[in-house]
């Protein structure tokens, strides 16, 4: 059997994991979800859930991955008894990854489209309202969405073909730092807008009366989504880790970076929203509708806008390749396929699931979906994966590590390569008790099975 590929350096791993975590979740999904869920109280929950619930799941996945050196399905299988059902968790992860990759690719397609549009100076001579309209036109154009979806998935195939070190690690190391710098520059611009102070209080000063019960589940889903946990992806990335790497430290760094980027994204977007008097609950179009307005007021619009959307696309790709890599790694193991074959087949299946997502706003397919389910197809997939499938599978991941796997395996994985040994007990406590109980509680409350208010 051939040797499993490993990350070449610890920084390479951090960049790849941060590359998976930081993406459209922080930059596109977080700001509009904050807007829809009333602001600061939601942000506070998101922070708590990221560090107290998401992080334990992240660590659990790394432990399982590095311990078994396998991808989700086989990893669960090899750590449990023959004939046990734990490998179903791996299959649930695969299903979620397919769905997320499908709609994620549609959004990434919008990023590509905005990059090209920026080059053609699409905001020229338009009022802020007209600039906002452009998004609705794009979202409801079936052919254009399909075209970008196809192209984006093709690019993913290109990266994943080259494997872990040359593909994923290489690109993440280049793209992540550039993104961080550009974000800070844009954040600096937003600081100077008159709406900044209003945005700051909207995001930082919690008003708990605005917190609806569903906001709690949404915040949990958001924390899991931005950390990429509850999908077996971090598990797969953990399986490419060598024994010398420090699991607690790297996990904490990734969670912190992700949290900071989400906050910067919100603090960059809401000043524009308030300065121009838009409603904060702008929905999935928020980033695409607000930033071009800011750009159109700034010198060097073409460059700024093109670079920004190109970077948005790059962060999207460092995340989407992690979704595709998870699928590819599992398919390679389950069917003993070559990397190339697994990549082509999983990307093709994703394309098929992506079609209804891409056509969702135009109503070209399933025109009555929204009337029946209350959300269009795209929003439905976005919602069920992050608010239900990821928390449920995160719950089972922690149950697996806390209750099923041998404690000594957990301890030895966690202690390898770390100086933070004193964290072993608190981390195990959160994996065994805190995370599963809280997540279970939130899920049951939301599903209406228990009522506490
Ligand atoms: N965490 C990524 C982001 O925030 C999205 C993602 C979700 C990637 C799930 C992989 C898995 O954009």
At residue 46, the pLDDT reads 97
- If one counts every other C-beta atom within 10 angstroms of the C-beta of residue 89, the result is 23
Higher pLDDT, 341 or 417: 341
* pTM, rounded to two decimals: 0.92
304 Cα to the center of ligand 1, angstroms: 25
For the chain, the 3-state helix, strand and coil shares in percent, each to the nearest 5, are 80, 0, 20
- pLDDT surpasses 70 at 157: yes
Res. 453 pLDDT band, cuts 50 70 90? low
26 Cα to the center of ligand 1, angstroms: 9
Q: Which atom of ligand 1 is nearest to the CA of 315?
A: 12
Write the pLDDT tens digit of every residue in 54-69. Answer: 999 999 999 999 999 9
> Any residues with CB less than 8 A from the CB of 356 and at least 6 apart, and which?
365, 366, 377
Which residue matches tokens 């730092």?
177
DSSP codes, 308-357: HHHHHHHHHHHHHHHHHHHHHHHHHHHH---HHHHHHHHHHHHHHHHHHH
DSSP state of 295: H
At residue 383, the pLDDT reads 92
- The least confident of 97-111, 182-196, 343-357, 387-401 is 182-196
How confident is the model over 235-242, as a mean pLDDT? 91
Rounded to whole angstroms, the Cα distance separating 205 from 203 reads 6
- The least confident of 50-59, 150-159, 203-212 is 203-212
Ligand 1, atom 9: closest residue by C-alpha: 228
Rounded to whole angstroms, the Cα distance separating 260 from 58 reads 17
How confident is the model over 2-25, as a mean pLDDT? 82
Mean pLDDT taken over the chain: 91
Rounded to whole angstroms, the Cα distance separating 144 from 157 reads 20
- pLDDT surpasses 50 at 388: yes
Res. 1 pLDDT band, cuts 50 70 90? very low
- If one counts every other C-beta atom within 10 angstroms of the C-beta of residue 188, the result is 10
138 Cα to the center of ligand 1, angstroms: 23
Rounded to whole angstroms, the Cα distance separating 243 from 236 reads 15
- What residues line ligand 1, using a CB cutoff of 6 Å? 20-21, 23-26, 100, 225-226, 228, 231, 233, 319, 322-323
State whether the Cα torsion 334-358-50-224 is positive or negative. negative
């Amino acid at each position: 059997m051939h040797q499993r590929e490993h990350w070449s350096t610890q920084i390479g791993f951090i960049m790849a994991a941060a590359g998976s975590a930081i993406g459209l979740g922080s930059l596109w999904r977080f700001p509009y979800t904050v807007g829809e869920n009333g602001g600061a109280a939601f942000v506070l929950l998101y922070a708590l859930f990221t560090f107290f619930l998401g992080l334990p799941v992240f660590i659990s996945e790394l432990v399982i991955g590095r311990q078994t050196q396998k991808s989700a399905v086989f990893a669960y299988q090899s750590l449990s008894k023959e004939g046990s059902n734990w490998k179903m968790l791996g299959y649930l992860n695969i299903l979620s990854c397919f769905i997320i990759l499908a709609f994620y690719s549609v959004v990434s397609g919008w990023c590509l489209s905005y990059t090209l549009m920026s080059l053609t100076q699409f905001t020229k001579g338009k009022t802020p309202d007209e600039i906002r309209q452009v998004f609705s036109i794009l979202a409801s154009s079936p052919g254009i969405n399909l075209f970008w979806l196809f192209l984006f998935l093709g690019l993913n195939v290109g990266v994943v073909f080259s494997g872990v070190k040359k593909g994923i690690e290489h690109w993440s190391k280049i793209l992540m730092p550039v993104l961080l710098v550009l974000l800070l520059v844009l954040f600096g611009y937003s600081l100077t807008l008159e709406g900044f102070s209003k945005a700051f209080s909207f995001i930082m000063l919690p008003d708990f009366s605005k917190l609806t019960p569903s906001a709690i589940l949404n915040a949990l889903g958001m924390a899991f989504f931005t950390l990429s946990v509850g999908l077996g992806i971090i598990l797969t990335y953990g399986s490419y880790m060598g024994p010398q790497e420090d699991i607690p430290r790297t996990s904490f760094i990734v969670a912190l970076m992700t949290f900071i980027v989400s906050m910067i994204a919100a603090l960059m977007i809401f000043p524009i929203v308030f300065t121009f008097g838009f409603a904060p609950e702008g929905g999935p179009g928020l980033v695409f509708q607000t930033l071009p307005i800011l750009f159109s007021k700034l010198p060097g619009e073409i460059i700024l806008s093109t670079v920004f959307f190109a970077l948005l696309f790059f962060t999207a790709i460092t995340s989407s390749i992690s979704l595709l890599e998870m699928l590819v790694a599992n398919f390679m193991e389950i069917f003993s396929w070559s990397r190339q074959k697994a990549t082509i087949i999983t990307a093709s299946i994703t394309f098929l699931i992506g079609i209804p997502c891409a056509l969702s706003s135009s109503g070209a397919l399933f025109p009555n979906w929204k009337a029946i389910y209350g959300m269009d197809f795209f929003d439905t997939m976005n919602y069920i994966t992050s608010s239900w499938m990821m928390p449920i599978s995160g719950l089972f991941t922690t149950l697996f590590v806390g209750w099923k796997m041998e404690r000594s395996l957990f301890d030895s994985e966690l202690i390898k390569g770390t100086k933070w040994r004193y964290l072993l007990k608190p981390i195990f406590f959160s994996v065994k008790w805190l995370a599963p109980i809280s997540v279970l509680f939130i899920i049951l409350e939301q599903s209406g099975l228990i009522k506490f208010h």
